[in-house]
Structure formats: C-alpha cells, structure tokens
Amino acid sequence: MKKNNPVKALPVKSPAETHHTTQEQKQSLTTNQGIVISDNQNSLKAGPRGATLLEDFILREKITHFDHERIPERIVHARGSGAHGYFQVYEPLTDITKTAFLQDPRKRTEVFARFSTVAGGAGSGDMPRDVRGFAVKFYTSEGNFDLVGNNIPVFFIQDAMKFPDLVHAVKMEPDKGFPQAATAHDNFWDFIGLTPESLHMIMWAMSDRGIPRSLRMIEGFGVHTFRLINAKDESRFVKFHWRPTIGACSVVWDEAVKLNGADPDFHRRDLYEAIESGNFPEWELGLQVFDQKIADSLDFDVLDPTKIIPEEIIPLRMVGKMVLNRNPDNFFAETEQVAFCPANIVPGIDFSKDPLLQGRLFSYLDTQITRLGGPNFHQIPVNAPKCPFHNMQRDGLHQMQIPKGRVNYEPNSLDPNSPRENPTIGFTSFREPVAGELLRKRSETFSDHYSQARLFFRSMTEPEQRHMVSALAFELAHVEHIHVRTRILGHLAIIDSSLEQQVAEAMGMQGKADKIQPAVQPRDLQQSPALSLIKKAKPTLKGRKIGVLVADGFDSGLLQALRDSAKSEKAQIAIIAPKVGKVEDMAGTKMVPDMSLSCAPSVFFDAVAILTNEEQSVFLSTQAGAVDWVRDAFGHLKAMAHTPDALVLMDMAGIDPDEGVVALNDKRSVVTFIKRAKEGRVWDREPKLRSPG
Ligand code: HDE
C-alpha cells in the first residue's frame, strides 16, 4: 500500500541535543514512549505477504490502547451532552448562606454542565420520551459543588432502596434486549402500577416536559430539599430551580419520533451549534427558601422527593445566572469522564434527611470507581477542583500526582507544612438533632400519592392535557399484559376521572379500570399555573430556527425581509432547497442553501416559510419529500408562511389554511408571520388533525 504521510528520517543528534525537542520532533507522530513512528500505515511483517511479527511494538501498543478505549457507560444517564461556562450571583446571599461563590456579584465561578436522557444507552437518540438530567459542577473557591438535578422537580420513588428496581424496570427487558430508551413496555408500567408513589412523576414524564425542544429550553430542579447555612449557623431549607432565559419549550410527539430518525443528535447538535455561534444558553438560578415553621405548615413532607412546593406558595427568589459559553475540546475527556456526585457540597450548603438523597450520597462516588477505573478519578482535569486540594490519601490506580516527602499520615510532627484539619474554615455539618429507633419504615407523612398528581394534571392547559392523554394511551398500548393496563387506569381514575376516561377511550378500554383503594384519599389543591409550560410561555423567537424552503426563481427580496425580521428577533434562518449545491433567485443570482430538502425535514424548525414560484411549486407538489415537509410543518402545529404560488404545494399536502398560515404578499406580511411565529404552536389546529389514541 502507498504511504500517505511518509515521515523523513530524523537527523542523528549529538548527546547534548537529546533533551531538546526539535520542531520536527514536535510535529512527528510518536508512540506513548515518545519514539517517533516512521510508518503509520503498515505493520511489521516477514516479507510483504508474510505474517505480522510479535516484535512490532508499535502495532501492539496502538491496538492495545484502542482495545481499551471504551469505559463502562453510566448505568443511567448514559447519553449526555456537556458544556463549560460560568455562574454569577446577582447579589450577596449573606443572609441565607455563607457559601463563598454566592457572595460576590463581580465574581464568575466556572461550571461544567451535563444534560442527559435517563434510560437509553450512550449511543441512543436524543428524543425519546424521558426525563432529562441537569447536572452542574461549580468549581468554587471552597471546592466543588455539584447540583445533580433533573428537568422534572419530583422523582419516581421515595426511598433509595427502590432505585435498582426502578432502573431495571425501565431499561430494556433483560431477556429481549429491547426496547431501547423507551418507557413504553410492560416491565416499566408493571413497576409503576405497583408503586403508586411514582404517579406524580408519571404525570410530569407523560407531559410535554418529557420531549423538550432543546436542552437550552429545559428547566432544571435539584428535586430534594437541601439546607442553606449562614455565618451565624442558622439553617433554612432550600429547593433549587434552573430557568432558561429563552423560555422552556417542547415538541409534539410525532415530531419527536421523526426527529429521532432524522437526527439522533438533535439536542447535542443544537447545544453545540448554539455555543459555537455565540448564542450562549443561559439559566437563572432560583431558590425556594423556607424555614422549619413553614415546612411544618405544609400539607406534605418536605423530605418526600415526590412532592413539589408550588411557586404560588413559596415564590422563587432568582439569585444568579449560569451561562454556557464553551464547548468541550474533547467529548470523552470531558463529557464522558465528568463525575458528578450529590455529596459534593461546600460550606454553607447541607443535605436534608430525604431518604432518596441519603442513598444518592453513597451511590455516585461508588459508581465512579468502577466507571472511571479506580479511586483517583478526581484528578481527571474535568473533575479536579480549581482550588488547592491535598490530603493524605495515597496511591491507587491511575495516581497522577507525585506527592512529596516522608509524611503520609495526620497528625504528624515530622512535617510542619503538611496539610492539617482546619476547624475554622472546614466543612461542618448542620447540627440537626437526630434520634429514633432503628427501623425500616416509610413515614406516614409520605403516604399521599395522588393529590399532587391531580394538581399537576389540573394545572395544565387543554392542549397539554391532550398530550398527556395521548402519551399515556401510547405507552399503555405497548403493554401486552392487560392487567398492567387496567391497574394503571385504576390509578388514573383516582388522580382525575376525566383523565382515566380519556385514556381508556383512546385505547378502546372504557370501564376496565381496576378499583384501587388509595392509602390516603387525594385532596383538591389550589391549581398552580406555574406548572404549565404553555401558560408561562412568553412570545419569542429567540434561539429558535425558521426553515425557509426555496427553489429556483424564488423572490430574494422576500427572503431578505425574512432574514431581517428573524435577525431582529434573534432567531436563525436556514435556507432549504431541493439541491444542496446551489439555487437561483428570480434574477438568476446563484446562492448556496444551508441544506437540501432530503437532509432537513421541517421537524428541524420552529416555524417555516415556503418561497416557491408557480413552476417550482407545481414540480415540488409531485415530490413526496416536499409534500411531507409541508404537511409535517402543518401537522406539527407550526406557524407557516407561503408565497401565493406555493398554495398548489400546500393543497397537495391537504392543508386547509388557518390563522397560523400567513400568505406572503409583501414585506408587511413578513412582519405578520414573524409575529405569529413568536406565539409558538397553533394549538387550536391540533384537535382538527389528531385525536388521542
Ligand atoms: Fe442519579 N445516578 N440516582 N438521580 N443521576 C447517576 O451516577 C442514583 C436520582 C442524576 O451527567 C449515576 O455517575 C441513585 C435523582 C443525574 O453524569 C448513579 C438514585 C436525580 C445523573 C446514580 C438516583 C438524579 C445521575 C449513574 C436514587 C435528580 C447524571 C452514573 C437513590 C435529582 C449525571 C453516575 C451526569 C447519575 C444513582 C436518583 C439525577 C448510578 C442511587 C432523584 C442528572 O450513581
């Protein structure tokens, strides 16, 4: 075989030159021992057609390293995307915490954030219906603080004891090895039906929150109640919230299904590209702070991770902002090797006795020792604190540091400079009095499993409720065991009888719900509008993308007007043409589109415009890809704009224009379209196109 990159023989050096790296050496490929490689294309053989020699240390080193390139993927949250950035507090939070990084509004604390799906493997698609992990490592001046949360503020279970069962049930079934990254199967719903504490979280997971539009558009939650401690050693409880500054937003289910096929990296690409283009994702950190007296006044237990505190009861105090402004240089070294742990806290923050959190405090360090191959993973650059760290822990696999000196124990009198404990600035746990009998028992204050599930469902808008009905019917239709379906229907009937009836009807299983006796009868709670994504949504196109379909002979004036309007809204435009090489406008001027029609289905965009002339519209209406592009945009409830000539293509797609479809007659109509697109989906269109089932 011909060599692609022949490396010239290096000149022989005098002994005095041996430690001096020449420019030529710097650019040469070497082994891990620093030996320059002369041929990276051919192994060492006994003759050109002979056997490969065991002596070929270069081949063996290369292949051996390759053989060990993979590490175990995370048992949950295996599929994830990460980014670097910073966090900055708005004002000193001295009143509630002594934590250093929450004191100085001029200071930026470096962070690394990783977003993930839960159930799928590392190579699974980005768009299954699933919870999203939202983990942030703050490299504070007092050590690392990890806020390891989710995009849903409650969890499926109340006690860490149940976590392996939950995860086994949701992952692919062990005999079959499928389904991948999907809750729609018997094992999962069997577990849920027998674990009523999971029903509140099920409501969230079956809502639009389970299929986010972008990782830049998810909310994040610390889930558990934590503590904040101030310099006077006063403690308050806290719940952590992240709010995306461009608003939270989701896709519709059919879109998620198609996105997973068209671009399994949809979320990862979106995050990466946004950061590369300088549209940095941002979240505000919000705190719900409350004391023991308020905790005691609530009608649920703040240690129960299946409960929220509605914002209407304890409003969020927005305390700072996180900006993600740098993509990792290397996916494996950073995003794959980052090791989060809820036990990583700093002075001024402490745990509560939430039994789920207590179990997590053990689990993460333990899992990293296997996943990252030993106890020194904290030395990996993405995991290492950015403040000094030193102690008497020694040795172990992959020790990267070379501790100096004779002393490796404390106390010692041999080295006065060796690190010592420091009661003044060292971490102390909040002195919460604890006493009780040893027992395995769930507190009775954890027994109401239905009231907040009902609260969530009833706080949704009509479209959001419809989506939940469809999602539940879809999931349960995949369940083969009828008794599993009827048990879930029984639980739904306790949450809300209309929810059960709609799901049963969507499946054609009316009147089949099991009769289930709840441990505690649910109560009707005051609705919480803050739970609804649609109620909270503000008109915006910021960070969104408009797909513009053009073909030869298109009106470049209209395109420019669209570009200008989109730019003023901080939205992006993508030009889609039948062929990726070029497209010509009505004056015959050539331009290169961003993507071809076959590579960029309309599911990639938040709103679409079709700028085709009569001839091209007639042609495209004979092309299934173009008809699907238009039909899907309408079916996915997007705002649409079209030149009058494009009507023939829209007719072919069976579109009956409604208030979300804007005819582009002039530049003024472009403004009308952009205004409509800012409103988001055309929800009124949905019932005309799709009924749950
Ligand atoms: Fe996790 N979880 N978890 N979890 N979790 C892991 O740690 C675990 C829970 C969450 O981007 C694992 O490094 C137990 C709640 C995120 O790397 C593991 C329990 C919440 C991530 C683990 C829970 C989370 C993980 C797997 C119940 C939201 C990904 C790999 C007692 C508040 C972090 C790893 C990343 C990852 C254990 C419950 C969030 C096995 C035992 C509740 C975002 O240690």
Per-residue pLDDT of 479-512, as tens digits, reads: 999 999 999 999 999 999 999 999 999 999 999 9
The answer to whether 139 and 209 are in contact (CB under 8 A) is: no
For residue range 670-691, list pLDDT tens digits in order.
Answer: 999 999 999 999 999 999 999 8
pLDDT band at 22 (very low <50, low <70, confident <90, very high): confident
Q: Which of 159, 171, 360, 368 to mutate to test the pocket of ligand 1 (most atoms within 8 A of CB)?
A: 360
Backbone angles phi, psi at 385, to 5 degrees: -60, 155
pLDDT of residue 667: 86
Q: Output the pLDDT for position 26.
A: 87
pLDDT > 70 fraction of the chain, expressed in percent and rounded: 97
3-state secondary structure 44-110: CECCCCCCECCCCHHHHHHHHHHHCCCCCCCCCCCCEEEEEEEEEECCCCCCCCCCHHHCCCCCCEE
**Is the shortest distance between the CB of 148 and ligand 1 below 6 Å?**
yes
Closest C-alpha to ligand 1, atom 30:
74
Closest by CA to 227, choosing from 219, 218, 237, is 237
What's the chain's average pLDDT? 96
CA proximity to 576, closest of 606, 592, 596, 560: 596
pLDDT over threshold 90, residue 131 = yes
For residue 399, give the amino acid letter: Q
Residue 239 beta carbon below 6 angstroms from any ligand 1 atom: no
The reply to whether ligand 1 has any atom less than 6 angstroms from the CB of 223 is yes
Which residue has the CA at smallest separation from atom 22 of ligand 1?
A: 364
Exactly one of 84, 144, 150, 267 is catalytic; name it.
Answer: 150
621 Cβ inside 6 Å of ligand 1: no
Dist CA 115 CA 148 (whole Å): 10
Please state the rounded mean pLDDT for residues 393-400: 97
Give buried/exposed letters for 71-96 (b at 16+ CB in 10 A, else e). eebbebbbbbbbbbbbbbbeeebeeb
Mean pLDDT confidence for 581-601? 97
| Model confidence pLDDT, tens digit, residues 279-303 | 999 999 999 999 999 999 999 999 9
Separation in Å, CA 370 to CA 75, 276, 376: 11, 33, 11
Residue 288 alpha carbon to ligand 1 centre in Å: 22
pLDDT at residue number 20: 65
Compute the distance from residue 238 Cα to the ligand 1 centre, in Å.
Answer: 20
Q: How far is CA 645 from CA 84, 208, 551, 641, in A?
A: 47, 35, 12, 12
Cα gap 464→529, rounded to integer Å: 12
The one-letter amino acid at 181: A
Is 77 known to be catalytic? yes
Q: Would you call 675 helix, strand, or coil by DSSP?
A: helix
Question: What is the token pair recorded at 70?
Answer: 């993979």
541: helix, strand or coil: coil
Residue 21, pLDDT score: 78
Asked whether the predicted pLDDT for residue 664 surpasses 50, the reply is yes
Atom of ligand 1 nearest to the CA of 150: 28
| Residue 541, CA atoms < 13 Å, CB-side half-sphere | 27
Q: What per-residue confidence (pLDDT) applies to 666?
A: 87
- Best probe residue, ligand 1, of 239, 363, 368 (max atoms within 8 Å of C-beta): 363
Average pLDDT, stretch 366-382? 98
Predicted confidence (pLDDT) per residue in 324-354, tens digit: 999 999 999 999 999 999 999 999 999 999 9
Residue 474 has pLDDT above 50, yes or no: yes
The pLDDT assigned to 353 comes to 97
Supply the pLDDT for residue 25: 84
User: Is the fold of 57-160+201-379 the same as that of 545-689?
Assistant: no
Q: What is the pLDDT of residues 171-202, one digit of tens each?
A: 999 999 999 999 999 999 999 999 999 999 99
- Is the predicted pLDDT of residue 443 greater than 90, yes or no? yes
Question: Is residue 16 pLDDT above 80, yes or no?
Answer: no
Bridge pairing between strands 661-663 and 639-642: parallel
Average pLDDT of the segment spanning 25-50: 96
- Reply yes or no on domain 457-531 having CATH 1.20.1370.20: yes
Q: Please check the confidence at residue 541 and state whether its pLDDT lies above 60.
A: yes
Is the CB of residue 217 less than 8 Å from the CB of residue 249? yes
Nearest CA among 613, 620, 632 for reference residue 596: 620
Asked if 150 is an active-site residue, the reply is: yes
Number of other CB atoms surrounding residue 447 within 10 Å: 16
**Could you confirm whether domain 545-689 is CATH 3.40.50.880?**
yes
Residue 358 beta carbon below 6 angstroms from any ligand 1 atom: no
Q: Are 294 and 315 in contact (CB under 8 A)?
A: no
CA 80 from centroid of its chain's CA atoms: 7
pLDDT at 412: 97
Predicted confidence (pLDDT) at residue 12 exceeds the cutoff of 70: no
The dotted CATH code for 57-160+201-379 is 2.40.180.10
Decide if 115 contacts 137 (C-beta within 8 A). no
Q: What is the mean pLDDT of residues 69-95?
A: 98
Q: Could you tell me the residue ranges of all domains in the chain?
A: 57-160+201-379, 457-531, 545-689
Q: Which of the four pLDDT bands, split at 50, 70 and 90, describes residue 2?
A: very low
- Identify the DSSP state of 576: E
Beta bridge partners of 676: none
In tens, the pLDDT along 162-172 reads 999 999 999 99
